[in-house]
């Protein structure tokens, strides 16, 4: 039996063939939870971390669109809202999937605050686009009135960009640890609600997007998981992606992974953070491993039949 922290990619919540609605998402989540329930049925203990990119974008867009009717919500609040509704759907679907396997285990969501460093360099160079597209004139007005950082996005218009700082501390970690033995806990949703700690000890939300893979890695360290499993759209990490000599990798040592990163093999914002998060975990726990694979083949990867395993040496 292994303790596994599972980071769910966007395809675990929505698919290209499903409508971008709550109902369409729930349909995909149900399929996802069938796989998660089977991992539990195989005797493993799991905790779940999920992304929230499209969802928090839509919440923000809805809030900003309705600003003349009701005040727009700040970004950290939108992140908290996304944690709640995504967590609710996973709770509902996973509880049902577990019951079909005669597993009576509570599934719950913890609204999770993630401390970031207010001096993180990411705040000086926000790069993560969120929300709606605007004209240049509208973007200029938002910069003046709201203090947003706005950037032109691939010729499609102007968008707000926020920082993507490194997570430092999970505020609710002690509660998550206490719940582990009795529940399946969904936490650090969307990378966690980004906050900074003020000099007086108070917590303050900030406009940022924390990478969910790095959040899952930090959680894995804190709960001393045996495996960090990062689920994405591909069965294995590949080098020379999209080229004739594309090659799938079954295992990577830290040394080999570093070589591939130096060669620019992994795309920023896509595979690179997944590989870097996996490396960070096995660097902290040299005797353990991280796995990157697809949701569809998660169980096969745990059995050593597919996936990319990142090890210390």
Average pLDDT over residues 199-205: 91
Tell me the whole-structure pTM to 2 decimals: 0.92
Residue 95: per-residue pLDDT? 97
Q: Where residue 35 falls among pLDDT bands split at 50, 70, 90? A: very high
How many alpha carbons lie under 13 Å from residue 39 in its C-beta half-sphere? 28
Residue 159: per-residue pLDDT? 86
**269 has a pLDDT exceeding 80:** no
Alpha helix (H) residue ranges in the chain: 22-41, 53-65, 75-100, 136-145, 173-180, 212-223, 254-262, 271-284, 298-302
* pLDDT, greater one: 159 or 44: 44
Q: Write out pLDDT tens, residues 230-248.
A: 999 999 999 999 899 999 9
Residue 201: per-residue pLDDT? 84
Q: Where residue 53 falls among pLDDT bands split at 50, 70, 90? A: confident
Helix, strand, coil tally for the chain in percent (to 5): 40, 25, 35
- In angstroms, the CA 112 to CA 78 distance is 13
- In angstroms, the CA 187 to CA 112 distance is 6
Nearest alpha carbon to residue 247 among 268, 264, 265: 265
Nearest alpha carbon to residue 32 among 191, 303, 46: 46
* Joined tokens for residue 149: 């950082």
Active site residues: 10-11, 128, 212, 274
- In angstroms, the CA 271 to CA 6 distance is 16
* Joined tokens for residue 244: 């004739």
Average pLDDT over residues 250-261: 97
**214 has a pLDDT exceeding 80:** yes
Average pLDDT over residues 266-294: 95
Q: Write out pLDDT tens, residues 110-160.
A: 999 999 999 999 999 888 877 778 899 999 998 898 888 998 877 788 988
* Joined tokens for residue 269: 């914002």
- In angstroms, the CA 278 to CA 231 distance is 12
Strands 251-253 and 237-239: unpaired
Residue 153: per-residue pLDDT? 79
Q: Where residue 200 falls among pLDDT bands split at 50, 70, 90? A: confident
Burial class (CB in 10 A: 0-12, 13-18, 19+), 287: exposed
Q: Side by side, which strands form the sheet with 107-109?
A: 107-109, 184-186, 45-50, 3-8, 227-232, 289-294, 308-311, 251-253
* Cβ–Cβ under 8 Å, residues 33 and 94: yes
Contacts of residue 156, defined as CB under 8 A and 6 or more positions apart, other chains included, come to 133
Compute the radius of gyration of the chain from its Cα atoms.
19
Average pLDDT over residues 25-39: 95
Average pLDDT over residues 289-302: 96
- In angstroms, the CA 280 to CA 214 distance is 9
**99 has a pLDDT exceeding 80:** yes
Domains and CATH numbers, the chain: 6-112+169-311 (3.40.1160.10)
Residue 58: per-residue pLDDT? 87
């Amino acid at each position: 039996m292994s303790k596994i922290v599972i980071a769910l990619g966007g395809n675990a919540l929505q698919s290209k063939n499903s409508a971008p609605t709550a109902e369409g998402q729930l349909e995909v989540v149900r399929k996802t939870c069938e796989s998660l329930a089977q991992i539990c049925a195989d005797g493993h203990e799991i905790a779940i971390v999920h992304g929230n990119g499209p969802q928090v974008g839509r919440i923000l867009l809805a809030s900003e669109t309705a600003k003349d009717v009701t005040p727009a919500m700040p970004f950290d609040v939108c992140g908290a809202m996304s944690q709640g509704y995504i967590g609710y759907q996973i709770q509902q679907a996973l509880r049902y999937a577990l019951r079909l396997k005669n597993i009576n285990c509570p599934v719950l969501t913890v609204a999770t605050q993630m401390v970031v460093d207010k001096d993180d360099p990411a705040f000086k160079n926000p790069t993560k686009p969120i929300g709606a597209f605007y004209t240049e004139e509208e973007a200029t007005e938002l910069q003046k009135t709201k203090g947003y950082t706005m950037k032109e996005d691939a010729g499609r218009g102007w968008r707000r960009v926020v920082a993507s700082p490194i997570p430092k501390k999970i505020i609710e970690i002690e509660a998550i640890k206490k719940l582990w033995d009795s529940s399946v806990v969904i936490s650090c949703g969307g990378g966690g609600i980004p906050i900074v700690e003020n000099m007086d000890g108070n917590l303050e939300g900030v406009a940022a997007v924390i990478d969910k893979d790095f959040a899952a890695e930090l959680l894995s360290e804190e709960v001393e998981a045996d495996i960090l499993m990062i689920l994405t759209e591909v069965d294995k990490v590949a080098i020379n992606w999209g080229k004739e000599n594309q090659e799938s990798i079954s295992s990577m040592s830290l040394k080999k992974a570093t070589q591939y990163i130096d060669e620019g093999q992994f795309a920023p914002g896509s595979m690179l953070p997944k590989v870097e998060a996996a490396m960070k975990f096995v660097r902290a726990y040299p005797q353990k491993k991280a796995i990157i694979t697809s949701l569809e083949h998660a169980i096969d990867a745990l059995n050593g039949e597919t996936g990319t395993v990142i090890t210390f040496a």
